Structure 1
Amino acid sequence: MDKVCASAAEAVADIRDGASLAVGGFGLSGVPEVLIQALHAQGATGLKVVSNNCGVDGRGLGVLLADGRIARVTGSYVGENKEFARQYLSGELEVELVPQGTLAERLRAGGCGIPAFYTPSGVGTQVAEGGLPWRYAPDGSVAVASPSKEVRDFDGRCCVLEHGITTDFALVRAWRGDRHGNLVFRKAAANFNPPAAMAGRITIAEVEELVDPGTLDPDRVHVPGIFVQRVLALTPAQAIDKQTEKRTVRS
């Protein structure tokens, strides 16, 4: 039952080329930076990433993106990463944009074994009707476009069919975790981390504070250990290394 890994390198060693990854975080909040850096050093490429966003230039998933390690991204927001925009518009990167709430539910549904669900989000737009550019050609034309989706009427309300998401691996960051893999997230980090953790067939969690089993209040656990296969305890320096996308001060 002890799921603690000796190092970040050990935790990500078997992530192969072309693997799919669900990655927690929102902006740079709750991003598993240490695992991402270890994966960058490990060398896996052609990765298919599912995450709210793809980090920023030089941080988060932006580290893998800048080195050409990511082949496809399923996400909601890409506006803070210039290299992401360059790769997408030049046809180097395939991108599936998904409404934010739909993305969270697709991850949660996959983790719960729900193959698909209906939602009103996206009805009447290209999300449902198809035609969103997934990949551009070098000449700027659309090489791959999103397909149309099934739409049904439920008591006079149209809803679009969305499929649950499961991935080969998931990388998440938790505030506290125990050796059995039970996780607690704090404040803004409790965003996409729980559904991402549920969606991975092998979930790897870096934790800022590792505690013994029985320490965590069961009523406070956000993700139970059954969803988590590996735990990495961060050093104090790693735990406090947190960045913000934009620092602002009041005039």
Structure 2
Amino acid sequence: MIDKTVASAAQAVADIPDGASLAVGGFGLSGNPIALIEALLAQGTSDLSIVSNNCGVDDWGLGVLLNAKRIRKMTSSYVGENKEFERQFLSGELELELTPQGTLAEKLRAGGSGIAAFYTQTGVGTQVSEGGLPRKYDGQGGIAIASPKKDVRTFDLHGEPREFVLEESITTDFALVHALRGDRHGNLVFNKSARNFNPLAAMAGRVCIAQVEELVEPGELDPDSIHLPGIYVHRIVEVGTGIEKRIERRTVSVSEGA
């Protein structure tokens, strides 16, 4: 039996070195692998290049690594509610590769599937394909690094010629993901919207580390209910059902007559 469990989050991330690239699951604050992120913070790993939909908020999620100046580059589709993210980017302290959300998802999936690149209509006719998007500022309002021009080709789609831009896939040294439950073989089940980027991030990492709220024995998960097969997961750590979960903006409806 292949038992992929490790005893703690600290043990799970212990070999992630300075300068590593990471794919991290989560959308907003949903499905963030916070125990693994905090373990990475505690061990002092720095100069990280991280691929994730967003960078958490100032005091939670990937924002805790950002605040500690541990992140060199973010590849994201959404800057979001993080003021420190904005400050570091505009001051030239942080490199940012801003990527359309669907394209980012497909770049991760393609990387995990062994596909080097793909063509998409998203971004054609914009700076995404034409280049010139600021990736890093020089701290004085100028652009230190700009996005490159990408290959654009015309393909026939539904009998109509259309332009497509070439996007390279993404693979990373490690992946950090959060799941509702998993078994010792690494098979994972995600909970509703917390599924988001987690399976895609897991696929893209050469070494995938999963934190799960509940660890079960092999055979306890219904095969038809497994969202990510264990072939993509290399380490799994149980963090318990009481782990903190945050909401960026709590919105409630007003009842009639209130």
TM bucket by the smaller chain?
Answer: over 0.9
1:2 paired residue number: 3
Correspondence 1:244 to 2:247 = yes
1:36 paired residue number: 37
In 1, Cα distance between equivalents of 2:137 and 2:185:
44
One-letter amino acid matched to 1:171 = L
Task: Find 2:240's aligned residue among 235, 241, 251.
Answer: 235
In 1, Cα distance between equivalents of 2:242 and 2:223:
28
2:154 paired residue number: 153
Deviation at 1:176, TM superposition (A): 1.0
In 2, Cα distance between equivalents of 1:79 and 1:243:
15
State the Cα deviation string for residues 30-51 of structure 1 (Å, max 9, x = none): 0000000000001100000000
State the Cα deviation string for residues 89-127 of structure 1 (Å, max 9, x = none): 000000000000000000000000000000000000000
Task: Find 1:203's aligned residue among 189, 205, 208.
Answer: 208
Secondary structure of the residue aligned to 1:79 is: coil
One-letter amino acid matched to 1:245 = E
In 2, Cα distance between equivalents of 1:40 and 1:59:
12
Gap runs ≥5 in structure 2: none
In 1, Cα distance between equivalents of 2:50 and 2:165:
23
Secondary structure of the residue aligned to 2:16 is: coil
State the Cα deviation string for residues 185-217 of structure 1 (Å, max 9, x = none): 111011100100000000000001111001111
Give identity over the alignment, percent. 68
In 2, Cα distance between equivalents of 1:221 and 1:236:
19
State the Cα deviation string for residues 160-200 of structure 1 (Å, max 9, x = none): 00011000000000011000000011110111001000000
Question: Normalising by the residue count of structure 1, what TM-score does the alignment of the two structures yield?
Answer: 0.98
Secondary structure of the residue aligned to 2:128 is: helix
Secondary structure of the residue aligned to 1:80 is: coil
Instruction: Give the conservation status (yes or no) of the 8 Å contact 2:73–2:95.
Output: yes
In 2, Cα distance between equivalents of 1:222 and 1:60:
23
Correspondence 1:224 to 2:229 = yes
One-letter amino acid matched to 2:192 = K
In 2, Cα distance between equivalents of 1:45 and 1:189:
27
Work out which of the two has the higher radius of gyration on C-alpha atoms and give 1 or 2. Answer: 2
Q: How many residues align?
A: 249
Moved over 6 A (4+): none
Gap runs ≥5 in structure 1: none
One-letter amino acid matched to 2:234 = Q
1:99 paired residue number: 100
Deviation at 1:233, TM superposition (A): 0.4
In 2, Cα distance between equivalents of 1:184 and 1:30:
12
1:51 paired residue number: 52
1:174 paired residue number: 179
Secondary structure of the residue aligned to 1:247 is: coil
Aligned counterparts, 1:7-156, within 5 A? 7-155=8-156, 156=161
State the Cα deviation string for residues 16-42 of structure 1 (Å, max 9, x = none): 000000000000000000000000001
In 1, Cα distance between equivalents of 2:224 and 2:169:
27
Instruction: Give the conservation status (yes or no) of the 8 Å contact 2:181–2:189.
Output: yes
One-letter amino acid matched to 1:115 = A
Root-mean-square deviation (Å): 0.7
